[in-house]
């Protein structure tokens, strides 16, 4: 068994004296693991850092085996993240989100979204809305996508400012007014194109929205606590983006 694919490094763990087990999100083969011989060498360590883009050749005798990687660097952007707490916590959060997907399941749209976020992860005003959209994309890939395209009550596509916690669908201003205290706020950047940088109140509303549906559909049923990396990432974003008291 052998194939080659573009990949983004998610993480690694020690394997024996000199090798590592490397976890990569690939474009066509999904989240995939494999052994890198001499992965702890001075030459390979900078290449295998989370966030780096690599060209990955995977080989194994049988498809179900762990297999081995041969890795070539493409874009070693991990070094640019070192001085940004948003980027470092964001990388950890992105990796944990991506690990919710079944191993070796192709998710090309997730790969592309991960690549876009990686280009903007050191810029907090851009990273924050992209992280929220990535959370929504993971929910959708897991089968729990929100429908924010039209009002659940009227079918209207204008003035969508709420989300129903029951249906996960958007609700218009008029239809939601009587129940506004029971509905989630729908940030404007999620109901249309990302044409302007949202303020912190919108970012906070976006994270509150995704947190509810992750707890309801993913973490709660699995008996898992919300990941610490998410809270750390949001705290770092708050320090950069929230207005001074």
Categorize the per-residue pLDDT at 195 as very low, low, confident or very high, splitting at 50, 70 and 90. low
Distances from the Cα of 118 to the Cα of 44, 103, 121, 162, 239, angstroms: 21, 21, 5, 29, 20
DSSP 215: I
CATH architecture of 2-76: Beta Barrel (2.40)
Tell whether the model's pLDDT for residue 193 goes beyond 70. Answer: no
Q: Residues 212-232: what's their mean pLDDT?
A: 95
Q: Residues 21-35: what's their mean pLDDT?
A: 98
What's the pLDDT score for residue 191?
82
Q: Contact 96/114 with Cβ under 8 angstroms? A: no
Helices assigned H by DSSP within 142-199: 173-176, 188-191
The predicted-structure confidence for 70-125, as pLDDT tens digits, reads as follows 999 999 999 999 999 999 999 999 999 999 999 999 999 999 999 999 999 999 99
CA–CA separation, 30 and 8 (whole Å): 10
What's the pLDDT score for residue 194?
56
Angle at 39 between CA 33 and CA 44, to 5 degrees: 115
Domain boundaries, the chain: 2-76, 83-148+186-241
What's the pLDDT score for residue 243?
78
Average predicted confidence (pLDDT) for the chain: 95
Q: Residues 135-156: what's their mean pLDDT?
A: 96
């Amino acid at each position: 068994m052998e194939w080659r694919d573009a990949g983004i490094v998610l993480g690694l763990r020690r394997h024996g004296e000199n090798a590592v087990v490397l976890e990569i999100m690939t474009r066509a083969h999904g989240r995939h693991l494999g052994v890198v011989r001499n992965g702890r060498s001075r030459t390979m360590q900078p290449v295998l850092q989370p966030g780096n883009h690599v060209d990955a050749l995977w080989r194994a005798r049988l498809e179900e085996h762990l297999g081995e990687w041969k890795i070539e660097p493409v874009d070693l952007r991990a070094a640019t993240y070192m001085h940004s707490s948003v980027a470092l916590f964001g990388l950890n959060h992105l990796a944990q989100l991506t690990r919710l997907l079944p191993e070796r399941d192709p998710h090309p749209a997730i790969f592309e979204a991960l690549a876009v976020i990686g280009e903007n992860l050191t810029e907090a005003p851009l990273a924050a809305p992209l992280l929220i959209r990535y959370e929504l994309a993971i929910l959708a890939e897991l089968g729990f996508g929100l429908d924010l395209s039209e009002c659940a009550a009227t079918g209207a596509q204008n003035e969508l400012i709420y989300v129903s916690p029951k249906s996960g669908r958007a609700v218009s201003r008029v239809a939601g007014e009587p129940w506004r205290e029971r509905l989630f706020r729908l940030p404007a950047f999620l109901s249309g194109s990302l044409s302007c940088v949202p303020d912190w109140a919108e970012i906070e509303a976006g994270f509150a929205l995704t947190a509810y549906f992750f707890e309801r559909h993913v973490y709660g049923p699995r008996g898992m606590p919300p990941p610490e990396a998410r809270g750390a990432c949001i705290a770092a974003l708050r320090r950069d983006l929230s207005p001074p008291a």
